[in-house]
Structure 1
């Protein structure tokens, strides 16, 4: 297997740096006067939230107006940023420009222009060095050197872990990523919502990278998953700093999730996971708001009846400050990224609200938070509503929302594909999706639970076992899940104890909110076993739950640090800090020794590095539009700007005479064929074989063809190529071959192309008949 490590690492670095420039470097420069003297946590959240909100809504607006392209996006960004800079400036910019131009002209007239320019450059350089050296961040990092070192190490570790298999296979993690790739490509052509209205946050942010830096779209989607997961982990660290007392307990939270994460979706560039940092942002700003004592802001002296009509008095700058605006934007972002992410946010907000009863229902807290939620939702829904009014329909998978509202079950596209495949092949052993009505009713009966015949104790036992089963099957092993529930029990006791004292009451509410959130998510994941309506699959529920596992484990530990931290002696505090660091390191050691350390993620829809290597060489060696690539979808968008591409599945369907014959209009045609299939839904990793080539292939013009029928497609392509090479040995040759991959090149006269429909299995009829294939 070709692993061009240097090229892959360089590609990853460019993608990560581009994302960092987009999310941090630009806003830190543009908003530097606003961010001056702000905390580093605020700066982090401000940068990622405002940039995402600005760029996503800008792309949606320009797309709605049908003027979305590289020029308009860059132009609008320049105008917006210049207006921000001007607003925070002393309004003397043009005067300084005039003074500089006068000095420049005077130096030119006196023949000392070069000396003047060198002097100015030296002055700017010294000023830049002084400015960078004066940044307070260096002092902060020096004071918190161990915390900084641990977090930097965890960031590097997570980038390495999350991109390990991408480096090895240079592959997508999931089979639906090519669909998102197609939507982004269509957006580059000016077509917003090309497949229908869908939460477009991740797509817009990826498009911005393409616009600003021109990086390869496939490369961005390969590595953006690691970047967005690191953002999530930094957000979890900052949220933990708001809740926990131990100095290194927040780092321990990140250590736990970094070492135990087994949800492969976080390694992929998927919309749901891309927006999880915004879910944590909602919790962060909501908890900070609820921590504050707002008694002094209550309007006194009114009767109870009059206070009902005083709601508007709680919507002003006294309550809706910059942090509350960021909360509002977070609400908009979770909807803009994915509706499943919005569900996670709803449950987290509900958990915090329940945990903060009765404070949450006081008007000085409830009304501003409710206002932020409503306005954030309005910001996200408005562009979709405008596009719907324009005549753009919803994307097919958005039927999920309708199914939830009507109480029906939404099974998605994969089971539909299996059902259609089984029906086309007249088989009942494909995925079990082709059930009769009686079988379907029996299946429904299996998940119905009659609680009326159970005692309260039996119901609690049944409920607890369902949660345990969900945790074991969808998250971690039995021991880890058992410890999680033990920590939840002790954490609840600690929360009640903290609530007894005014000084620590808010932290008790925080503890309780984290516990309630985990219970809700586990209940959501165990819905099918509990006989409840399944809003989302258990695997997706675990996606929401896993990031918060570190909070649960640390509740009793942090309570101990909070109790022990009552004495303010600096030497004693230093000992506690050392103990907190030891707990952090000990947590990592225990995870590894107990066998809870995660393994590398499997790939769901993967392709070999050979395709990437070959495509790079073909694009360098052949002129544009002189070649056609016949391969799976994976290469499609890399080829479009250089040559032509034909789906290997469509080609095989044509060769099998199941559709009208077609030819290729280019002089050169390359056929990419896997000799060893890396992943097939039914057969796993297998070598191409005559028994697969003899199977019926059903073409649905769907990327799922390569997921469910890849062994058949590649085997038929392999035997077709052998036959065609035998027929035309001079013009059909092996372009590249190794143990797992082969590529052919066909040179033809475009005005008299080859007939490609040949009977490639005719020589094997006896073998096929003898083996019953």
Structure 2
């Protein structure tokens, strides 16, 4: 199964790379002339994701989405653009082939000679391509070696979990699986209007390439995380003056254990928020490029491309996750400050405001259209709307008001609240006391100056930030790291001002904008402690903060190179200094901090055993129709959607418990598979005896009566699995030829019942634990 999982992940990586890099490069190769490799990569990712997302949105809202419509609207535009762009080359190639065929038909050339010419030309094309690749690698050997090593390390850190723990490890994934399954029925926004950009990408891959949705959701995190870090590296490499600052920054993020594990653990799961991060930095880079190209009058096509790419990226943050839009918006606000010398000029301002308006319209339009068609808002999006309208001040307490209203409302719909008597009694002072009051000098409260208030606020901000950084980001010395981060932000801003004075405004404005953005992120992270609305929970904001700190580290490492390039304009010397400084800093970090190991999801968050996933793969490979049923906990319900029947374990046990004597309980499919965990999972809720094996003690306990998925959590799951195991063993004793063990390992066992569909077995038996 490990080898199979690796092959599936490699296949997903190839598919995603072809869709998001290769195809756009083929289509827009001529349009990208003059742009650097990093810019081309970000353009490819932007164009492909934007097209796929909006294609799926349009087809879903029209209820005509299928493999045929998706292929038609994917392949036809690609071929049309390629033929138009390369029509002269195709025409010349066609003429040559017709000439060769004419020689064959006139018997002046033999078939062997014809194929020899064809193979020779193919060989020449491949040889020239290899020479060009080796020539490029030869010019940047050190960079490619560093890039390869960091890529391997990245895959080791974030990819190990997928080959060690096969099941879902985040409770959101079964919900996303359900939503994507509903898209196969052209029922987008099945649970209400919600940003569905991520779901559109997964649905597209599932539909076009016939890969099960649960397989994509299990393994797509490796692909997603690789490209997320690739975009981070490309962004830094594109804005820095030296070649090696990006490697130093990424090394500090990936190799030494600088941060708490929870700052990066979400990267081991395929989630919308992390996928939306893919578009934040490209949006910012193309805004930087827009300011630069506008100043240099680079040409209408280049300027329009910059602005259109930034617009598309911002719209995709809206379409994927609201948090990503907030971070992109903060960076844009920092750009307004950093580029204020240009931003407010009409030729810049009008174009940018038009792009922002267009981005918001494009991002919101699919959701707005669905809402107009009668789709309700999904529950979690209500908080985002309240934030925008100013009706909510805390992300963690978003339902507090409604809960309190419900608590204060009686069953009749009215409420009686006894308020304390706040009426003050009028007190008549005694004459002597009155005289004393008149003679006593009033006590004056000294006024606090604005400077003192500011000082107190900054001290409070620094203290609370230090505490939160130590608790949530850095494992130790919170005060030291808070001081270091604030100092680096100030250093970058001052360096940017210096670059502007030295007539290097483009680089200087980028430094100022980045430093201010990091300060904004620190304020967002610490908002609750300084009396500001908490727009984002610290568990989420720290993910963005640690990710973006990589840009700060790289810009600091790039400072000496920028100074050298300004003073003597020697790129090789600048790159050498950057390499040496990055090497020293990275080596020191590895000496002070431990080296990171691969990230594994804690057992409490694992939602399925490896045996269950392995067994499911075997079942689906053996059965191509719906002639089987799986009796298990809830997760297989969505994994089997459209492929087989599902019956919940708790429902089955409740039928056994409450069935009248002689009542038949049947499952009318030829094959019935019973999933049982011998060592039940915690399923997000740990308890005192977590990790214990099923036993008769557990089977003797009362069957949980709670609703929803609560019977599958914590100790309840142990009871349910214990009862299920002893029922299966008792049934196997009664029908040993028909009920057999299909799969078993140390933690999981699956029984298979083969029966006649016309006369299925009655599963209602007394197994001594029906209570």
- Shorter-chain TM-score tier: 0.7 to 0.9
Compute the displacement of 1:621 (Å). 4.6
Deviations 1:619-669 (A, max 9, x none): 445574332111234434553454322233443444444999963111221
Compute the displacement of 1:381 (Å). 1.7
Report the CA distance shift for 1:677/1:473 in structure 2 as closer, same or farther (over 3 A): farther
Residue 743 of structure 2 aligns to a residue in which SS? strand
Q: Does structure 1 retain, via aligned residues, the 8 Å contact 2:244–2:579?
A: yes
Question: Quick one: distance in 2 between partners of 1:677 and 1:647?
Answer: 16
Question: Quick one: distance in 1 between partners of 2:492 and 2:596?
Answer: 30
Deviations 1:148-174 (A, max 9, x none): 221122122212211111110112231
Q: TM-score, normalised by structure 1?
A: 0.82
Aligned to 2:673: 670
Aligned to 1:185: 181
Residue 364 of structure 2 aligns to a residue in which SS? helix
Q: Does the alignment pair 1:718 with 2:716?
A: no
The farther-off stretch of 725-734 and 91-100 is 91-100
Deviations 1:164-185 (A, max 9, x none): 1111011223111122122222
Compute the displacement of 1:96 (Å). 5.7
Q: Does the alignment pair 1:472 with 2:470?
A: yes
Question: CA-atom RMSD, angstroms?
Answer: 3.7
Q: TM-score, normalised by structure 2?
A: 0.83
| The structure with more radius of gyration | 2
Which structure 2 residues correspond to residues 254-293 of structure 1 after superposition, within 5 A?
254-259=250-255, 260=257, 262=261, 263-292=264-293
Question: Of the candidates 207, 212, 218, which is equivalent to residue 214 of structure 2?
Answer: 218
Which structure 2 residues correspond to residues 335-734 of structure 1 after superposition, within 5 A?
335-404=318-387, 405=389, 407-408=391-392, 455-479=453-477, 482-483=480-481, 485-500=483-498, 501-568=501-568, 574=572, 576-595=574-593, 597-599=595-597, 600-603=599-602, 604-621=605-622, 624-657=625-658, 663-683=666-686, 685-687=690-692, 688-689=694-695, 694=701, 697-698=704-705, 700-702=707-709, 705=712, 710-725=717-732, 728-729=735-736, 731-734=738-741
Which structure 2 residues correspond to residues 106-117 of structure 1 after superposition, within 5 A?
107=104, 110=107, 114-115=111-112
Deviations 1:175-203 (A, max 9, x none): 11122122222223333223322222212
Report the CA distance shift for 1:593/1:709 in structure 2 as closer, same or farther (over 3 A): farther
Compute the displacement of 1:503 (Å). 2.4
Question: Quick one: distance in 1 between partners of 2:344 and 2:533?
Answer: 29
Compute the displacement of 1:23 (Å). 1.0
Question: For this pair of structures, how many residues does the alignment match?
Answer: 710
Question: Quick one: distance in 1 between partners of 2:14 and 2:318?
Answer: 26
Aligned to 2:310: 327
Report the CA distance shift for 1:45/1:554 in structure 2 as closer, same or farther (over 3 A): closer
Compute the displacement of 1:402 (Å). 3.4
Report the CA distance shift for 1:651/1:104 in structure 2 as closer, same or farther (over 3 A): farther
Residue 477 of structure 2 aligns to a residue in which SS? helix
Q: Does structure 1 retain, via aligned residues, the 8 Å contact 2:665–2:764?
A: no
The farther-off stretch of 727-736 and 103-112 is 103-112
Question: Quick one: distance in 1 between partners of 2:696 and 2:517?
Answer: 53
Q: Does structure 1 retain, via aligned residues, the 8 Å contact 2:640–2:646?
A: yes
Report the CA distance shift for 1:121/1:347 in structure 2 as closer, same or farther (over 3 A): same
The farther-off stretch of 640-649 and 376-385 is 640-649
Aligned to 1:50: 47
Structure 1's unaligned 5+ residue stretches are 298-315, 424-436, 439-450, 766-773
Question: Quick one: distance in 2 between partners of 1:761 and 1:409?
Answer: 55
Aligned to 2:71: 74
Q: Does structure 2 retain, via aligned residues, the 8 Å contact 1:249–1:584?
A: yes
Q: Does structure 2 retain, via aligned residues, the 8 Å contact 1:668–1:746?
A: yes
Question: Quick one: distance in 1 between partners of 2:59 and 2:345?
Answer: 41
Residue 380 of structure 2 aligns to a residue in which SS? helix
Aligned to 2:435: none
Question: Quick one: distance in 1 between partners of 2:240 and 2:584?
Answer: 18
Question: Quick one: distance in 1 between partners of 2:296 and 2:130?
Answer: 42
Q: Does structure 2 retain, via aligned residues, the 8 Å contact 1:471–1:522?
A: no
The farther-off stretch of 480-489 and 357-366 is 480-489
Q: Does structure 2 retain, via aligned residues, the 8 Å contact 1:173–1:265?
A: no
Deviations 1:671-724 (A, max 9, x none): 111111343333264223566552653454459955895444434433443454
Compute the displacement of 1:544 (Å). 1.6
The farther-off stretch of 185-194 and 343-352 is 185-194
The farther-off stretch of 332-341 and 753-762 is 753-762
The farther-off stretch of 727-736 and 738-747 is 727-736
Question: Quick one: distance in 2 between partners of 1:352 and 1:658?
Answer: 68
Question: Quick one: distance in 1 between partners of 2:753 and 2:211?
Answer: 30
Question: Quick one: distance in 2 between partners of 1:408 and 1:656?
Answer: 46
Aligned to 2:747: 740
Question: Quick one: distance in 2 between partners of 1:566 and 1:170?
Answer: 52
Report the CA distance shift for 1:27/1:623 in structure 2 as closer, same or farther (over 3 A): closer
Aligned to 2:200: 204
